[in-house]
Structure 1
Amino acid sequence: MKITTKGWLAALLITTCLGLSSPLLAQQVAPININTADAALLEELPGIGPSRAEAIIQERETNGEFTSADDLTRVSGIGNATVEGLKDQIEF
């Protein structure tokens, strides 16, 4: 099989792009502390918009800190599916 210069350069470009993107894909974001985060930081979590962020803050001020991800179900509008999606992105 004969490889052309154009094909070789395309393969090199793809290999280079994949090699450069791997460290970026492997990077992880630091978990967000549910008990200390402000509304803006809470809104960075998937499924948490402005009203849920405020509800999280109100719940922890009224009833105390969260000790586990499952405690988030105390907040109206946050169910088990949302909690499962957040477990690896939050801390206490």
Structure 2
Amino acid sequence: MKGSFKGFFAALLLGLGLSIGTSLFAQEVAPINVNTADAELLAELPGIGPSRAAAIIEERTSNGDFTDAQALTRVSGIGPATVENMQEQLTF
């Protein structure tokens, strides 16, 4: 009886852990449009904090919309590695 309780409890914990884990991974994040997003939303992108978000907005205001992810390298402090890390989360 004692062994079956341990097995049941272990299976219950495993099932609970798997259901929580899969629900976290199942949530998709909507891509962020860098040409319309505000600074707060842009700051959520990997490698972009408040100062780079402000620089993105300043760049698009001064020089026009971004046409693709690589165009973000126009912003000081955003290089190819940063673009690569976030390009799946972007739209234009």
Which structure 1 residue ranges, 4+ long, deviate > 2 Å from structure 2? none
- How far 1:51 sits from its partner (Å)? 1.1
- Unaligned runs of at least 5 residues, structure 1: none
Q: Percent identity?
A: 62
2-side partners of 1:65 and 1:78: how far apart?
Answer: 16
Equivalent residue number for residue 89 of structure 2: 89
- How far 1:15 sits from its partner (Å)? 1.7
- How far 1:13 sits from its partner (Å)? 1.9
- How far 1:4 sits from its partner (Å)? 2.8
Secondary structure at the counterpart of residue 6 of structure 2? helix
Alignment of 1:1-92 (within 5 A): 3-92=3-92
- How far 1:11 sits from its partner (Å)? 1.8
CA-based RMSD of the aligned residues comes to 1.6
- Unaligned runs of at least 5 residues, structure 2: none
Report how many residues are paired: 91
Matched letter for residue 85 of structure 1: N
TM-score (norm 2): 0.89
The more displaced of 13-22 and 68-77 is 13-22
